Amino acid sequence: MPVKNRFAELQAEITAWRRDLHENPELLFDTHRTSGVVADKLRAFGCDEVVEGIGRTGVVGVIKGKTQSSGKVIGLRADMDALPITENTGVEYASKTPGAMHACGHDGHTAMLLGAAKYLSETRNFDGTVVVIFQPAEEGGGGGKVMCDDGMMDRWGIQEVYGMHNWPGQPLGSFAIRPGAFFAATDVFEVTIEGRGGHAAKPHETIDPTVTSATIVTALQSIASRNADPVSQIVVSITSFVTSSQAFNVIPARVTLRGTVRTLSAENRDLAEERISQLCTGIASAYNCSAKVDYTRNYPVMVNHDEQTAFAAEVAREVSGDCADAPLIMGGEDFAFMLEERPGAYILVGNGDTAMVHSPEYNFNDEAIPAGCSWWAGLAERRMPAA
């Protein structure tokens, strides 16, 4: 099953959809235009059911095969939201929305799944039901969890679920996947260190939270180097250091630190949260300051299920001739919530030699469309072969 000829025929049309979405990016749950475009196209394709408003602005389409004797139902998910980044690609279809752009390729993901939905609605060459899932708010809003919390999996009886992401630097149209932990848990924390401010010429009359905070920043790196197993993966990064005074001659009374933690196991996630609290409060106390730690668990580790991963790789090899072993990725992905609800797998499709995602110069490569659409369609036809 190489790239399907139908997707070569549809590539120009799907590309036009993708570029329209690229021109009109929307953030988080505010995907009203995008969701409307998706729903209208699914209805035009002849989907058996189209429901809007799942997970606030998510869209679900149902496509029944020629027969349903297998009783199988698989979900195929694409994300729709953009990022709060100012575009710097120079393409003629660049974002028309100030301060927002499709810098992660969700426009491409949505367009490819729409292409697959059109094909599957035309052919219906499978025995079972395909549920196409278009999700808002992957970029920090947890839209996948919100759709699950809305009862999506049970409402449509979804038994397995599959997702895909483009990947710059990977050969165009190729695939890569791995079983087990794949994308990291993405937690955030904020630490407020309180001291006593004063004149910088008289530090002995102050309790300096700046020195305290600098010590904390350094000490937090010991979590990865001295607390976690050296062969495990854990990242603790301070990304913001803000004092309550910006004057050159004033020692501030307060410092706020913000950061992120990336882990690939529940054990390291617990370890990081515990040690951040211990180090911050302990060091602050030693320097006569106080520390308040707010730790928030965001996306969990995204874990591919073994059997579904092997199947997804098999379909990928049929499309492109190969499926590589993907690396561990310390970025987050809220498809993790769907994989906690149902067995499934997440795969990478190569975007070629392009700027990395989340860059102002990034752009989805439209030449990846036939491979991505073929993989989506192949999942349905191979998992639920026509009776």
Measured distance CA(323)–CA(340) in Å, rounded = 24
266, pLDDT greater than 60: yes
Strand partners, 177: 325
DSSP string, 147-182: HHHTTHHHHTT--EEEEEEEEETSPTT-EEE-SEEE
61 contacts 50 by C-beta, under 8 angstroms? yes
> Residue written as tokens 């600098």?
214
Backbone φ, ψ for residue 26 (5° rounding) = -135, 145
> Residue written as tokens 């309550």?
244
pLDDT tens digits for range 86-137: 999 999 999 999 999 999 999 999 999 999 999 999 999 999 999 999 999 9
Is residue 2 very low, low, confident or very high in pLDDT (cuts 50, 70, 90)?
A: confident
The percent of residues in the chain predicted with pLDDT above 90, rounded, is 99
Measured distance CA(387)–CA(378) in Å, rounded = 16
**Per-residue pLDDT, 3:** 82
Region 153-173: mean pLDDT is 98
Burial of 120 (0-12, 13-18, 19+ CB in 10 A): buried
278 contacts 177 by C-beta, under 8 angstroms? no
How many C-beta atoms lie closer than 10 Å to residue 231's C-beta?
5
**Per-residue pLDDT, 387:** 84
pLDDT tens digits for range 181-232: 999 999 999 999 999 999 999 999 999 999 999 999 999 999 999 999 999 9
Region 298-321: mean pLDDT is 97
Strand partners, 328: none
- Domain 185-299 in the same topology as domain 5-182+301-383: no
Region 276-281: mean pLDDT is 98
The whole-chain average pLDDT of the chain stands at 97
Q: Which residue from 304, 379, 381 is spatially nearest to 343, judged by alpha carbons?
A: 304
Domain ranges in the chain?
Answer: 5-182+301-383, 185-299
Measured distance CA(94)–CA(375) in Å, rounded = 28
pLDDT tens digits for range 16-43: 999 999 999 999 999 999 999 999 999 9
Region 164-185: mean pLDDT is 98
Is residue 339 very low, low, confident or very high in pLDDT (cuts 50, 70, 90)?
A: very high
Region 77-94: mean pLDDT is 98
Superfamily designation of domain 5-182+301-383: Zn peptidases (3.40.630.10)
119 contacts 4 by C-beta, under 8 angstroms? yes
Query: Which CATH number is correct for 185-299, 3.40.50.180, 3.30.70.360, 3.40.630.30, 3.20.20.70?
Result: 3.30.70.360
Measured distance CA(323)–CA(308) in Å, rounded = 14
1, pLDDT greater than 70: no
**Per-residue pLDDT, 370:** 97
